[in-house]
Amino acid sequence: MRTDQYEEAFQTGFGATRRFLISRGAQKEDAEEIAQAAWVRGWEYRDQLRAPELVGYWVNAIARNLFRARFRAHSEVWLGEHWDPSYSMSLDWIEVGRMLERCPGRDRELLEQILEGYSAEEIAKESGITSTGIRVRLLRARQALRRQCSG
């Protein structure tokens, strides 16, 4: 991919990458930082891109992976028992933590893995259950949570 092509893609695609990250739950400041890092990484590996017209999708995939890595690194602060007051935490995450406390251990563990960004396929490989089995367990865990919260 030529330098001018990448520059044009960056000009038109950076905002979309930032919005993509925000739609996935990133805070605005984090989304800005992760989007910048993703476009830099894309620049470093642009020679590997075989379809230049897909650069935006490619960089968004990089951004998603960077966001997941950051999310996983902070998950023990958000979902664990250790509170770090120096880390700014939204009220939504506090409520998520309260809801998870209501879940049986097996359901809580599964929901935490999903919140950390793991896919059903990744969890299935780790646990030795099919991805369909994981999705069924997730459905049941969510239904149980809804019943508890509404009742």
Instruction: Give me the CATH number covering residue 120.
Output: 1.10.10.10
DSSP tag of 50: S
Contact 88, 45 (CB under 8 A): no
Q: Is residue 85 part of a domain?
A: no
Q: From first to last of its 151 residues, what are the pLDDT tens digits of the chain? A: 788 889 999 999 999 999 988 887 888 888 999 999 999 999 998 888 888 888 998 899 899 888 888 766 554 444 444 444 444 445 556 677 777 788 888 888 888 888 777 788 888 998 888 989 998 998 888 888 878 776 6
Residue that terminates a domain, selected from 13, 42, 73: 73
CA separation for the pair 79, 54 (Å, rounded) = 36
56 & 103 share domain: no
Name residue, tokens 């001018």: 4
Domain that holds residue 125: 90-150
- Quick one: 111 and 138 in the same domain? yes
Counted domains in the chain = 2
Establish if 36 belongs to a structural domain: yes
